[in-house]
Structure 1
Amino acid sequence: MARLSVNINKIATLRNSRGGDNPNLVQVAKDCERFGAQGITVHPRPDERHIRYADVFDLKKVVTTEFNIEGNCQEQKFVELVLASQPEQVTLVPDALGQITSNHGWDTIKHQQYLKNTIKIFKDAGIRVSIFVDPIVEMVNAAATTGTDRIELYTEAYAHNYAVNREEAIAPYVTAAEAATKAGLGINAGHDLDLQNLQYFAQNIPALDEVSIGHALISDALYYGLENTVQMYLRQLA
């Protein structure tokens, strides 16, 4: 069974919109774990429009499952934050400055040497590394030579095409996952996975280690409640 890591960025967005500390990010993280989530994910950005750098250290003190920090390792402040907070996993995402949300994976061929150097920094610190990639076999194979422990498959294309033709939507992900497994890489996935498309994805990617879900899960929680929603997502992975 793949693990569910809840991305709590949207909770921080809601808190920041009003100031103060409501909802309390730390309490939400603790509650998600109590409700069954096997990990907590955050994606701090330079403008701190949702997760603040201080949040990372507050969360590190209380997360008892797996703490995953996503972000752009081309920002030195992000590298320093990860090294100082020592999460179980860092996920490297090629975000552009000011980008609203992640929208592509690494070109692991073009950025091969950069990724090798950066991944070594985190692995030398004892932090597991995952890198964000598109479901392209060449990019997966090149990722395997960077030293990363895992890849995170960028699933926006799958989610977008799922309702049109789910067999065609999943096909490149199956091929990419097979290449990753053959190369000895762990497999994570994330972006636009939800209650409609998650089960089919998990059923067709048997080597899937972990999914990171934030926007859809938090949106669903407005209707179903946070505890019920976390457990609904867990059932899709069972």
Structure 2
Amino acid sequence: MTRLSVNINKIATIRNARGGNNPNLVKVALDCERFGAQGITVHPRPDERHIRYQDVLDLKDVVTTEFNIEGNPDERFIDLVKRVKPDQVTLVPDAPDAITSNAGWNTVRYADHLKKLIDTFKEDGIRVSIFVDADERMVEGAKMVGTDRIELYTEPYATQYPDNPEQAVALFVKAAQKAQELGLGLNAGHDLSLENLRYFAQEVPGLLEVSIGHALISDALYFGLENTIQMYRRELV
């Protein structure tokens, strides 16, 4: 069964819009777990426009499900992850001014860089996942640098899904099959939603985990957080 990790960045965005601590990020994280989330994901960025580095420290000792920290591995991010020692770190090559993540790693071009990073995190017993496009060459490159898992960047799937689901998922199926062949764990995330999640999970083999934030939090405005998490869980059965 594919696990659901809830990305709580958007909760921090709402809080930061007014200052103070409403909504309380730690409480929301604990509520997500209580409502059925099987993991909590945060993505701190250098400008701290949503998740703050202090938030990650505050969550460190209270999250009891899988804690996943994702982001661009600059020096500050590396120091934070090694201090917190989450269950998983997901390496994402997003530029500091990116609105959101928009591409995976070129695991061939940046092989030496990625291998050093992965070795650094593994020294502390942290599972490492690399954010990659649905490209078999990039999956093969991920295997070569020693990562434990890959996370498939699913925005292209979500964009194409309404018009042609079979074509939208085809490259992701091939990438997943390659990951299985190579012994890599498989995660996925970005623009997965109640509309497209079930089909993706049914078609893509070996899917261990999805990380979902924007769509889930948006749906919670209509359906309530507890109900929404349960709705997403049902799409993964």
TM range (shorter): over 0.9
Whether the 8 Å CA contact 2:177–2:205 is kept in 1: the answer is no
Paired residue for 1:46? 46
Q: Secondary structure at the match of 1:91?
A: strand
User: What TM-score, normalized to structure 2?
Assistant: 0.99
1:232 Cα deviation (Å)? Answer: 0.2
Write the deviation string for residues 60-96 of structure 1: whole angstroms up to 9, x where unpaired. 11100000000001x1000000000110000000011
For 2:33, the aligned partner's letter is E
Aligned-partner SS, 1:151: strand
Q: Per-residue deviation at 1:140?
A: 0.4
**Mapped partners of 2:30, 2:157: distance in 1:** 31
Q: Distance in 2 between matches of 1:206 and 1:172?
A: 12
How far apart in 1 are the matches of 2:116 and 2:160? Answer: 35
Written as runs of structure 1 = structure 2, the 5 A alignment for 1:146-161 is: 146-161=145-160
Asked whether the equivalents of residues 151 and 189 of structure 2 are also in contact (C-alpha less than 8 Å), the reply is yes
Equivalent position amino acid for 2:78 in 1: V
Q: 1:33-84 CA distances to partner (integer Å, 9 max, x unpaired)?
A: 00000000000000000000000011111100000000001x1000000000
Residue number in structure 1 paired with 2:176: 177
Deviation for aligned residue 1:196: 0.4
Aligned pairs (5 A) from 1:71-90: 71-73=71-73, 75-90=74-89
**What are structure 1's unaligned runs of at least 5 residues?**
none
Q: Name the SS for the 2:145 alignment partner.
A: coil
Contact 2:173 2:205 in 1 (8 A): no
Quick one: which amino acid aligns to residue 220 of structure 1?
D
| C-alpha distance in structure 2 between counterparts of 1:206 and 1:173, whole Å | 9
**Could you tell me the percent identity over the aligned residues?**
68
Q: What count of residue pairs does the alignment treat as equivalent?
A: 237
| Matched residue, 1:191 | 190
Structure 2: gaps of 5 or more residues: none
Q: Deviations over 1:160-184 (max 9, x none)?
A: 0000100000000000000001000
Shift of 1:206: 2.7
The CA distance in 2 between the partners of 1:112 and 1:9, in whole Å, is 29
Residue in 2 that maps onto 1:66: 66
Q: Secondary structure at the residue paired with 2:152?
A: strand
CA distance in 2, matches of 1:100, 1:43: 12
CA distance in structure 2 between the aligned counterparts of 1:118 and 1:126, rounded to whole angstroms: 13
Which runs of at least 4 in structure 1 moved beyond 6 Å after TM superposition?
none
Corresponding residue for residue 115 of structure 2: 116
SS in 1 for 2:144: coil
Shift of 1:98: 1.3
CA contact (8 A) 2:103 2:153 kept: yes
Residue matched to 1:14? 14
Aligned equivalents of 1:97, 1:11: Cα separation in 2: 20
| 1:216 alignment counterpart | 215
1: CA distance, partners of 2:133 / 2:192? 15
Q: Distance in 1 between matches of 2:163 and 2:97?
A: 31
Say which SS state the counterpart of residue 196 (structure 1) adopts.
Answer: coil
Q: Is 1:126 matched with 2:122?
A: no
Once residues 66 and 112 of structure 2 are traced to their aligned partners in structure 1, the CA distance between those partners, rounded to angstroms, is 28
Shift of 1:205: 1.3
In structure 2, give the amino acid aligned to 1:195. Answer: L
The AA in structure 2 aligned to 1:17 is: A
- Kindly provide the amino acid, as one letter, of the partner of residue 199 in structure 1: R
Question: In the alignment, what sits opposite 1:23?
Answer: 23
- Asked if 1:35 is matched to 2:35, the reply is yes
Task: Please give the secondary structure, in 2, of the residue aligned with 1:90.
Answer: strand
TM-score (norm 1): 0.99
AA in 2 matched with 1:178? Q
SS in 2 for 1:181: helix
